[in-house]
């Protein structure tokens, strides 16, 4: 039984790690060796990376991605926290309706909305604008974030709100000065969730962005792939450069994120 568990564990680790290893190693192989199945490269080169940075718009794509992800993160925190506070800590008529409405967004998802969102954005002159991407990314990051915040709001004793009310603090002051510092881990979790949702978004970015200089990383990478199908050096190097920022980011905040996801999902 123990042997089976170890075997299963090793298999899973291999399954997760191997694709990373293989693409990273391939991206470092010289052009004449990249198509050979050597598990360990005979020579290493940064040539593909240099070419990618010089000849493609990788850096522009990167800065677009960062801007959109930060914007998405900021906007969703700003709308999720007040909503979560009202839904999970206040009594008001229509509370159930609001929380159902937020969940209902899952029923009308992505692709079904590509067309009408494109039309709406074009009426609002938000086609081919990073703002348009931020707007739609928040739509898809916020509902799950509200749901995640429930566990965090529930972990703060209601007695604190009552004590604050007796001391004469209004609802907003209670939220800002008393609750906010206590739900820090929750805010971190939904920030990271929004960031990742935005960083990986593909469908809307490919429809809403029409000019090359506003492409985000996934779209830029898709273009490199389509244009140079056989240039696996660029494609693998591009893949590494696209996953690298988010993996570095995750190395710092991953612990908090998984802990937060665990705490938030429990309720």
Cβ–Cβ under 8 Å, residues 236 and 23: yes
Binding mask 38-67 for other proteins (x = CB under 8 A): ------------------------------
Return the residue of 52, 77, 87, 208 that touches other proteins, per CB under 8 A: 87
Residues that contact other proteins, how many (by CB under 8 A): 86
**Residues of span 117-156 touching other proteins by CB under 8 A:** 117-120, 122, 135-136, 138-139, 142-143, 146
Give the tokens for residue 66.
């960062």
Taking alpha carbons only, the member of 139, 121, 247, 259 closest to residue 201 is 139
Residue 166 touches other proteins, criterion: CB under 8 A:
no
Q: Least distance from C-beta 42 to other proteins, angstroms?
A: 16
Residue 98 touches other proteins, criterion: CB under 8 A:
yes
Residue 74 touches other proteins, criterion: CB under 8 A:
no
Q: Least distance from C-beta 157 to other proteins, angstroms?
A: 19
- Calpha distance 77→157 (Å, rounded): 22
- Calpha distance 85→174 (Å, rounded): 10
Decide whether 137 or 159 has the Cβ nearer to other proteins: 137
Return the residue of 10, 14, 20, 184 that touches other proteins, per CB under 8 A: 20
Return the residue of 109, 157, 181, 184 that touches other proteins, per CB under 8 A: 109
- Calpha distance 104→179 (Å, rounded): 28
Decide whether 3 or 37 has the Cβ nearer to other proteins: 37
**Residues of span 189-248 touching other proteins by CB under 8 A:** 196, 199-200, 202-203, 207, 217-218, 221-222, 225, 232, 235-236, 238-239, 242-243, 246-247
Taking alpha carbons only, the member of 42, 78, 91, 92 closest to residue 187 is 78
Which string of b and e fits 164-183 if b means at least 16 CB within 10 Å? beeeebeeeebbeebbeeeb
Taking alpha carbons only, the member of 105, 130, 100 closest to residue 215 is 130
Return the residue of 37, 166, 211, 248 that touches other proteins, per CB under 8 A: 37
Applying CB under 8 A, which part among 50-58, 109-117, 154-162, 178-186 lies near other proteins?
A: 109-117
Coil/strand/helix, residue 54: helix
Give the tokens for residue 213.
């200089």
- Calpha distance 169→163 (Å, rounded): 9
């Amino acid at each position: 039984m123990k042997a089976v568990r170890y075997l299963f564990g090793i298999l899973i680790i291999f399954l997760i790690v191997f694709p990373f290893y293989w693409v990273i190693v391939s991206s470092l192989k010289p052009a004449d060796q990249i198509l050979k199945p050597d598990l360990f490269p005979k020579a290493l080169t940064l040539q593909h990376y240099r070419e990618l940075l010089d000849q493609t718009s990788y850096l522009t794509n990167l800065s677009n991605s960062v801007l959109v992800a930060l914007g998405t993160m900021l906007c969703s925190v700003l709308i999720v926290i007040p909503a979560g506070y009202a839904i999970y800590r206040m009594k008001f008529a229509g509370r159930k309706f609001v929380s159902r409405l937020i969940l209902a967004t899952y029923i009308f998802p992505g692709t079904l909305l590509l067309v009408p969102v494109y039309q709406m954005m074009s009426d609002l002159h938000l086609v081919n604008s990073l703002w348009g991407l931020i707007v739609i990314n928040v739509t898809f990051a916020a509902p799950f974030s509200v749901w995640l915040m429930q566990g965090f709001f529930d972990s703060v004793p209601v007695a604190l709100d009552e004590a604050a009310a007796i001391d004469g603090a209004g609802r907003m002051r209670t939220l800002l000065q008393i609750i906010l510092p206590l739900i820090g881990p929750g805010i971190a979790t939904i920030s990271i969730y929004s960031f990742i949702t935005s960083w990986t978004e593909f469908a809307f970015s490919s429809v809403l962005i029409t000019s090359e200089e506003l492409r985000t990383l996934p779209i830029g990478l898709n273009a490199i792939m389509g244009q140079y199908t056989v240039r696996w050096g660029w494609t693998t190097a591009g893949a590494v450069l696209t996953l690298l920022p988010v993996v570095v980011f995750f190395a710092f905040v991953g612990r908090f994120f998984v802990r937060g996801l665990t705490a938030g999902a429990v309720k």
